[in-house]
Each structure stands twice: as C-alpha cells, then as structure tokens.
Structure 1
C-alpha cells in the first residue's frame, strides 16, 4: 500500500469524502473495483472454505479463498487482474480485522469489508450486508429473515473498522446510536430487509462513507461540459459542484473538497452535487433556482432594511 498517496488526501476538508477518497485509493490498489457482490457471496459465503468452529478463517485459508475470488473475477471480466491483488487484499483484511495478530479473521468481518469495498451498486451492497448479518454469523440467532439488534450490532462493528484503517473513524457515530436509529419505533425483535435497506438509504452517520465511496468510484470518468471557476479545468471530470447563489459558478471536486474559493463565492452558499451529466432542462432548472435564491435574498435584505 502507498501511505504517501493516502496522506496526500488529508487536504480534503470534508471528513466523509476524505474517508471515501482514501478508501477508493485502497479499492483501486487491491483491485476490488473488479469484484462484485455475487462473486463474494459465491466464493466466501455459499461455498464456504475451511472455517474454524467459531466461524473464523486462518490466514492461509483466507489467502486461498482470495486467490479463487480474483481468478474468478479475471475470468468473468475478461480483464487482467494485478497478480498481487489477492495478497494486497489479504494485507488489507489483516490490517482491518486482525489488529492483534491472532492469525484468524471472522468470515463475517472479511465478507462485510469486501462487500463494502466492492464495485457493486448500493442496493446490491445493502442487500448482501443484510443477508450476511442474518445468516453469515456462527452462533447468531436469526429471527426468520429479519435482522436482530445483536446481529446489526455485530455487522456495524465490523463495518466501523473499515474507516479506521485510514485513520478516519472518529467522525462517524457509535454503533449503539446507529442501532437505536435503525430500530426506532420498532417493537419486534427484528426488522425485515426492506426496512433495513430504507435505513441504509437514509445514509445514517455510521455508514456515510459507503455511498460517498460509491459516488467517487462511479463518477471517476464522468465529464461535465462546464469549466471550473477556480482551476479553470474543462471539462470537469468526476463530481461537479454547482453554486445555487452565484450565476454560472461550477467547481470540480478537487477545488470544492479542498475548500478553494474566490471572492464572489462564499463557503456558506448552497451547493448542489452532480454525479452525472445534466440535461439542458436540468440546467435551466438550476438557473431558475439560482435566480430565485438571489431575488429572495435581495427581497429579504430590503425588508430588513425597511424594518430597521
């Protein structure tokens, strides 16, 4: 792993995106952007390798499973996978899930990490994490096809370890608060898949890095036919940020996330994030919102002056 490259991302001011960009660097380094959820489920969860009675892998057994995983990925994608991908991924899993050097990693924790860092859609990740929490833990008691508080607690504890590997875990809420949030108003011992996914889609604090990572990865090659108002790059590649206060003011993700600004644009201005190219109709709607914000702002200032 290249710690120097990851440390360079510390200039990003937004904690969630700083975490996502660091994890994206690890995702690309370990070739996890070539892995999808169905492959992880097939290799690790359905055809279970040699597991200890407590549901853990030994490091050599996990290494063999990762080799199978990346060989399958190479065949399915018809793309050359970096020969060191399995070894780099093994090192990453050890750093996340075996900090004490026991030589064993829980299947549940390894699978949760791989699912979260895979290149699949958010809905596929959330569904897989639900099934993992319900069925993927040795010794846990499932309530039908529902996730219990104890299972959710274990799943979130595993996922919370992932930002720790890039020293970015302090900004995300604690596990108990997240469990209470998910089960708010629920009297039953468990919740079904649709409620769990709806909770995940609401982007709870503890999981904010997962959708941010997805947006960063999904927009890597997206281009926007506008110019960055600060660095003047054209077209903007990746995430685009459009100010709803300044007329025709767009920022690339580097300038926005590192807090770059100029005199006419202030950090308090409302900004909308674009992950995909916008249509002409959407651009007109953005212009209308910008004009409305400016007109309303002037009207409020005028009324305040009259009141004084």
Structure 2
C-alpha cells in the first residue's frame, strides 16, 4: 500500500510539472492547468504529512551530503540540516525542558506512549515561547514547524505506523536536536537514566543509546552508526557510574564509534559563523568559513571543510596525512605567545586538556529546597493598619495544652518573652501609625485645591 501511495504521488507531481510546462509554452490556459492539477490531487490518497516529510527528505538529498566521505561529518550535516528546517536549533535546551515539563511529560514513565496530538502540544508550547523571546522579524511559523517536526519524529520512532511515540524517545530527540551545550544535554539525560543515589541504571542507558542512535538511522546513516548490545556494554566498567563518569565518556574525542557524530554535530553549530582569513589550498578560496583543517606534515597547508570532507587535495598533500581540526583562528603573534608560554611552563599539568575543559559536578544528586517553611511577605494593609496582637491568642493556645513537662517549658518561655514581644509590637504600632499619618497628609495635600494669589 505504501508503494502504491508513493507511485500515485509521483504521478501527481509529474502531471503537475507537465501542466506547468504546457502553460509556459501557451498550449494550456491557467484555469485548465489548475483544474487538471486539482483533479490529480483528489485522486491521490497520500496524506499531507507524508508529502511534507517526503519533500523535506528530497531537499536534504538536494544538498548533496552523500558525497562526504566521512560518515561522522555526513551524519552531522544531515541532522544539522533538519535542525534548521524545523527551527529546533533556535530553541535552547532549558526552554525545551520547560516545554516538556509544562505538558506533564516529566511525570510519565519511560515506556509511556504519546499520541501525535500530545506531541504537537509539546512542540506548540516550545515554538510559541520562542516567538515570545525573539523579535517579530525573527518569528518562526509555528504551525509549519510543529507539523514538520512531528512528522519527522513519528517517522523516525514509529516505524510500525502505530500512531504513538514513546515519551522517553521524545525527550531524547528534542533534547539533542535543540541548541545549547552538549554537557547540559547529557546532564539532563543522566537525570532520566539514573537512580536516586546518582548512579547510572544500565538498562535505562541501553534504552537511551538505542533511542539516540535512531537519529542517524532517520537520515539513512543507520549502517554507519547502529546500536548493538556488545557496544553498549563497552561504554562503562562494572563500578557505579556517576554523572562525571558519564560525561567524560560521552564527550570524549574521539569517543565510541557509534557516537562520533554527536560531538561533531554540536561543534558544527558553534563554528558556522567562524571565518579564518586563510586560503584553502584545494579550492583556492581566500577565506575559510566553518571548520579549518591544517596538515601536520605539510607546511602551512590548510583545507576548508568542503574540500576536506570530500577528499579534495592539491600538490604533494595526500588524504593519508594527519590533519588537525581548528574551530577558531589565531594570528601569528598569538601563536608565538602561546608557544613561549608552553616553553616556560616547566611543570606539566596533571589533567589533560579535555578534562580541564569538562566541569566537575557533585556525584550525588543535591536535595531540593523545602519551600514550605518560608514566611510570606507582610501585606501592606497589615503595615498600615498595624499588626494584630496575637500574644493573647498564643497564650490561650498554650494554656489549653495538657499538663506535661514540655507544656510547662512553653508556658515559661511565653511569660518571659511577653515583655520583649510587647516592646516589638509597640515599635511596629508606632511605625505603622507614622506611615499612615504620612499617607493621610499626602492625600490631604493632593485633594486640597490651590487658591489663586
């Protein structure tokens, strides 16, 4: 049935193209072309969602990402394209978490299933809040973004076309496709797959890894990055895994083979607007945008990301040479100063460069604050009218308690503290009376008309 629907959709698109060509050549009027196209569309039972999703995939193929020889960058480019088309790259990870919580997904079990309507509510909340934060000129079309994102997520995680998607898969996909630091996204994921003691649950990690690797599979890269139980067991040893262990493994470069695309996707989002004033030796462009790759063997040999990803070389350089990826540019003076600093640093650091950049978090989860005992602010009416005298009521409540050693102590403290509390109450009454007098004088001065001299 799916093949039949696809063929009918292709037939409808071919007829539409033919009508447009006949109309441009003058063989067919505009009304006849529109009527023919409407007749074909009425006979085509393909839903609008499938047509929209198929158009998105065709636009991704038109970018010609498949010519990239490295699966890591090829997968990252495809997912980055989907981020931009759905405008998920404009929503921060914290705002996405807020949208998930507002729709009650944080209280659901990981195996709970959502219908497409509820997924649309989550996305509507996220994109509507985005439009409130950005200027009107940068507002996104909410309906289109919601429909496109919903269709793509349902096609990626609902392979059997049941009309349902698991809540945990929604959290994994939306968290990693939103903008923000990779460390923040992984910390959020760790809260979903850890217990109350702050240790990783292996079964939930397997589920997380399986759902995470569904993203490359959705852009036809499942053969390069597929989930296997053997690979899942090699991530961590037998000791309890804390949040710092989880972050160090997941952010390692180079990391596990199945997750090499994940850091590349987050690095790609940060270097899109970076410009290196260096000439590419392959395509000869004067400046390099994005990633810059410098050969460790050839002297001052730089390649842009398009040439390096596609294997373009020049001169004596070969693809077998070791290349270093640069995400920023340093001038000659900065490089000389850095080399001098390295030469003067006689004592090497005990931590590696990657460990120094990775922040350290408490291994045990912090307790949430108990807000039930916080005293609310005093209303303005109480300040103006004066505080009520609760000393007599409090004394009556203490006197009504049964005879016990504890109640005797309460009575003694109440009697001894009576004098001090009375002084405080007198001060409060004086302050309230003075504030009320000032307010009355001000109102009287405003209401009294001025007499013309």
- Which TM class, normalised by the smaller chain length? 0.7 to 0.9
Partner residue in 2 for 1:296 = none
Partner residue in 1 for 2:243 = 193
Superposition RMSD on alpha carbons, in Å? 2.4
Partners of 2:103 and 2:121 within 8 A in 1: no
Partner residue in 1 for 2:207 = 154
2:141 corresponds to 1:89: no
> Structure 2: 5+ residue runs without aligned partners?
1-54, 340-453
Partner residue in 2 for 1:18 = 74
SS of the aligned residue for 2:132 comes to helix
Q: Which moved more, 1:71-80 or 1:124-133?
A: 71-80
2:222 corresponds to 1:169: yes
For residues 233 and 264 of structure 1, what CA distance do their matches in structure 2 show? 19
Residue deviations 1:156-205, cap 9 Å, x none? Answer: 01001100011102222534234322222x234xx211111111112222
For residues 198 and 96 of structure 2, what CA distance do their matches in structure 1 show? 20
For residues 214 and 181 of structure 2, what CA distance do their matches in structure 1 show? 21
Partner residue in 2 for 1:98 = 158
Partners of 1:40 and 1:111 within 8 A in 2: no
Deviation at 1:278, TM superposition (A): 2.3
Deviation at 1:107, TM superposition (A): 1.1
Partner residue in 1 for 2:310 = 258
For residues 58 and 5 of structure 1, what CA distance do their matches in structure 2 show? 27
Q: Which residue, out of 227, 241, 249, partners 2:293? A: 241
Question: Is the alpha carbon distance of 1:152 and 1:50 closer, same or farther for their aligned partners in structure 2, counting shifts above 3 Å?
Answer: closer
Question: Is the alpha carbon distance of 1:168 and 1:85 closer, same or farther for their aligned partners in structure 2, counting shifts above 3 Å?
Answer: same
Partners of 1:172 and 1:206 within 8 A in 2: yes
Q: Which residue, out of 221, 241, 260, partners 1:208? A: 260
Deviation at 1:120, TM superposition (A): 0.9
Partners of 1:51 and 1:57 within 8 A in 2: no
For residues 175 and 331 of structure 2, what CA distance do their matches in structure 1 show? 33
Q: Pick the structure with greater CA Rg.
A: 2
SS of the aligned residue for 2:325 comes to strand
SS of the aligned residue for 1:74 comes to helix
For residues 19 and 286 of structure 1, what CA distance do their matches in structure 2 show? 34
For residues 282 and 38 of structure 1, what CA distance do their matches in structure 2 show? 35
2:329 corresponds to 1:273: no
Residue deviations 1:123-148, cap 9 Å, x none? Answer: 111111212323xxxxxxx3522221
Partners of 1:123 and 1:197 within 8 A in 2: yes
Q: Which has the higher contact order (CA 8 A, sep 6+)?
A: 1
Partners of 2:100 and 2:122 within 8 A in 1: yes
For residues 235 and 179 of structure 1, what CA distance do their matches in structure 2 show? 42
Partner residue in 1 for 2:180 = 120
Q: Which residue, out of 167, 179, 198, partners 1:107? A: 167
Deviation at 1:37, TM superposition (A): 1.2
Q: Which runs of 4+ in 1 moved over 4 A?
A: 49-54, 281-287
Deviation at 1:230, TM superposition (A): 1.2
Residue deviations 1:274-294, cap 9 Å, x none? Answer: 11222435655999xxxxxxx
Q: Which residue, out of 97, 103, 108, partners 1:41? A: 97
Partners of 2:216 and 2:225 within 8 A in 1: no
SS of the aligned residue for 2:298 comes to coil
**TM-score, scaled to structure 1:** 0.83
Give the length in aligned residue pairs.
278
> Structure 1: 5+ residue runs without aligned partners?
135-141, 288-308
SS of the aligned residue for 1:105 comes to strand
Partner residue in 1 for 2:129 = 72
Question: Is the alpha carbon distance of 1:82 and 1:38 closer, same or farther for their aligned partners in structure 2, counting shifts above 3 Å?
Answer: same
For residues 285 and 126 of structure 1, what CA distance do their matches in structure 2 show? 35
Q: Which moved more, 1:172-181 or 1:94-103?
A: 172-181
